Amino acid sequence: MKSLFKRQSLKRKLLVLLMVISCSVLLLATLGFAVSDWISSRGELYDRMRSQGSLIGNNTLAALVFGDTDAAQQTLATLSGEDNVVAAALFDHSGQSFATYRRGSVSLPEALPKRTTGELDGVLYILQPVIHDHETIGHIMILSELSNWQQQQVQRMMVVLGLFLVSVLVASILSDVAQGVVTGPILNLARTARRITETRNYELRAEKLSQDEIGNLADDFNEMLNQIQLRDEELRSIQAHLEEKVQERTAELEELTRQLEHQAFHDTLTELSNRATFDNNLITAIHYAQRHKSQLAVMFLDLDRFKEINDTLGHGIGDKLLIEMSARLRNCLRESDNLARLGGDEFAVLLMDASVDGAAEVAQKLVKAISHPANIDGYHLQVSTSIGISLFPEDGTEASALLKNADTAMYHSKELGGNQFNFYVTEMNQRTERRMLLESKLRCALTQHAFTLHYQPKWDSQSLRMTGVEALIRWFDDEEGFISPAEFIPLAEDCGLISEIDDWVTHRACQDLLSLYGESEPQLSLAVNLSPALFIKEDVYRRIARTLEETGFPAHKLELEVTETLVVSEVGSVYEQLSKIRNLGVEIAIDDFGVAYSSLSRLKQLPLNTLKIDRSFIQDIGTDPNDEVIVRTIIDMAHNLNLKVVAEGVETEQQYQFVKNHLCNQVQGYLFSKPVPLCELAVLLRQQDQAPGPSSPSVQAKLF
């Protein structure tokens, strides 16, 4: 039989197998029907018993309602005509036996069974409720013998078993024959493929056991082995190369992942925690403090004068200064404390288990560490820090509230002069609200041109004739009246509005000065103070040239004042920008000279015309010999460099006589005149023109 099948096609073999499978399925279906018949016959018996129970329950409803046991007993006796029923019982609503019927020695339960169907002492039973007006008033229990049903089922099972055994015998024989014939060549091919896979010996070949499609498959398989054998070495080489590349790429991805994870939670410049990390740590610390009933402190730090250094010396110096300050802060803290850079020159510190005294001690250390001079690329820089401190839980129980209140306390430290720390108090919120209100008003004032200029005269120190004026910006608010420049100018610098104010003052001052002379060329020159931010943007030359063109003001009559910190910086384009301005004919002056760290070599390099001595040195003349030496030295140095000297803030006769005796070129201050509006300045100029004196005075304008 096997040889017969070997000569047949695969199609015929599959057909035979399908016949075998069909027969087996038929046998299984027969068994399934037998089982189904057993289940259904048992179900029919239960259904018949339930019908009998429902009928008896309805007939005994009145007996249960009225407690008529005899009537119930007679109703149950009607079951004697049912061959299958051997007993019945009626229970009242409390589960006690109310009436019974039995045939033979069948025992009845005295209490209700827990299940509604089942077997009890070899007989089947069903239990159904007796319901009246949607209320169960009792139960009926019917018991049926199994002998007849069991005999029928045994006969049926014997038939099914016989069919099952015959089916198994037939299926076994046919399956063995079919499996041997059909799967033999396939298994042989599979064994060959498995040996090749295990040994990687591509010289092995599959034996062709039949002439059918499987035999052709064996031929194709052997041909495939020939091709695989030829390319095996090439694939091995490629695999080795790919594994090497995969290892390299995996290492690169792991390193990139590490870097991205680090950047996501750290500041790229200082390597400190960033704001996101600090916020998460603060939230975790608050939960810890709440559980352990402990206290923690949040510090908000801002570097004083950093913006000025960053704008004048450039971002490169500013970044190095931030790195240096970060290292100092880190050295003052414990490992359990958290230090983060929130952005710009703002830092935050989280102190765990910190008391008020402990926080104050740490803050003092931080203030002292920051205040030490730093040498950055040859510059001797000195900054300070303003610190605000909030405490948990006194100043807030949420992370956002603690940070906000520490920030508010930090601004209070700045308002008090910086280089100090302050703990948050509720009253500080008023200052924050004031700052926000003032910023809003400042923007509106700039849009609506609500500023005015007052001019303070400058005088020749020898002849006491007016040689110039200083233009001071004034702001009158309809609600608050005059607002001090000392309050809104620093805010304008923080908000980035100072450049627009610079442009407005320059343009307006040029127009005011031209209006004093009508069609004639002004006999007075005009100096304007410029923000260092304009030099960082490298557009100061364009701004000045545009103002001169729009107003028609003579360039040789204009003088620009720059801060000493800008002069001492090495911002790459400062010298180039100042030189371009000088080529326009505009003069350059240093304002507030003496408060920074200018060097003689730096002063010689830049195209300067004038030095203005800071008023802090002038105020102490007559009381501080050291300041007198400084003022005298500045005047001598400036003259040696062919620079003019202006003394600001002269308010006493003694101060005036001192600078006059040391040949200071010009003076200004309340000793001679307070700032006046343009109309009063015109009166002063007319009065001076009527008196003998110098015919070529100069006018000086400034923001504040």
CA atoms within 13 A on the CB side of 684: 22
Average pLDDT score over residue span 94-98: 80
Average pLDDT score over residue span 84-109: 80
pLDDT of residue 174: 64
Residue 88 burial (10 A CB sphere; 0-12, 13-18, 19+): buried
Tell me which of 3.40.50.720, 3.40.50.150, 3.30.70.270, 3.30.565.10 is the CATH number of domain 275-426.
3.30.70.270
d(CA 323, CA 325): 6
User: In the structure encoding, which two tokens stand for residue 494, read together?
Assistant: 């923080």
Torsion of CA 164, 168, 171, 174, to 10 degrees: -130
Long-range CB contacts for residues 486-489, cutoff 8 Å, separation at least 24: 486/704, 487/438, 488/438, 488/442, 489/703, 489/704
Mean pLDDT of the chain: 81
Average pLDDT score over residue span 170-191: 67
Average pLDDT score over residue span 569-583: 77
pLDDT of residue 632: 92
- What is the longest distance spanned by two Cα atoms in the chain? 155
d(CA 572, CA 584): 20
pLDDT of residue 5: 57
Closest listed residue to residue 465, CA positions, set 697, 679, 682, 651: 697
Tell me the per-residue pLDDT of 190-216, one tens digit each, with 9 for 90 and over: 777 777 777 777 667 767 666 776 777
Q: Hey, how many other C-beta atoms are within 10 angstroms of the C-beta on 410?
A: 27
Which secondary-structure segment (H or E) carries 349? strand 346-351
* pLDDT beyond 80 at 24: no
CB distance 697 to 467 below 8 Å: yes
* pLDDT beyond 60 at 566: yes
CB distance 669 to 653 below 8 Å: no
* pLDDT beyond 60 at 10: no
DSSP per-residue string spanning 305-317: THHHHHHHH-HHH
Which secondary-structure segment (H or E) carries 123? strand 123-132
Q: What is the DSSP letter of 676?
A: B
More confident residue, 447 or 178: 447
* pLDDT beyond 70 at 580: yes
CA angle 697, 542, 470 (to 5 degrees): 30
d(CA 614, CA 631): 9
Q: Which amino acid is at 593?
A: F
Place of tokens 């839980």: 393
Tell me the per-residue pLDDT of 245-274, one tens digit each, with 9 for 90 and over: 888 888 888 877 777 776 777 888 888 888
Residue 568: which residues within 8 A CB-CB, separation 6 or more? 312, 379, 596, 597, 598, 599, 602
CB distance 567 to 524 below 8 Å: no
Length of the chain equals 704
> pLDDT-based confidence at 597, cuts 50/70/90?
low
* pLDDT beyond 60 at 15: no
* pLDDT beyond 50 at 700: no
Domain boundaries, the chain: 275-426, 438-682
> pLDDT-based confidence at 697, cuts 50/70/90?
very low
Average pLDDT score over residue span 330-356: 89
User: In the structure encoding, which two tokens stand for residue 596, read together?
Assistant: 């920074």
pLDDT of residue 208: 67
Q: 124-138, 162-176, 367-381, 463-477: which range is least confident on average?
A: 162-176
CB distance 666 to 645 below 8 Å: yes
Could you tell me the fold of the domain covering 438-682?
A: TIM Barrel (3.20.20)
Closest listed residue to residue 579, CA positions, set 535, 618, 623: 535
* pLDDT beyond 70 at 363: yes
CB distance 299 to 388 below 8 Å: yes
DSSP per-residue string spanning 214-280: HHHHHHHHHHHHHHHHHHHHHHHHHHHHHHHHHHHHHHHHHHHHHHHHHHHHB-TTT--B-HHHHHH
CB distance 339 to 347 below 8 Å: yes
- 385 forms bridges with which residues in the sheet? 303
User: In the structure encoding, which two tokens stand for residue 614, read together?
Assistant: 């800071």
For the chain, how are helix, strand and coil distributed in percent, rounded to 5?
A: 55, 20, 25
d(CA 141, CA 128): 7
* pLDDT beyond 50 at 694: no
d(CA 307, CA 343): 13
Q: How far is CA 72 from the centre of its chain?
A: 81
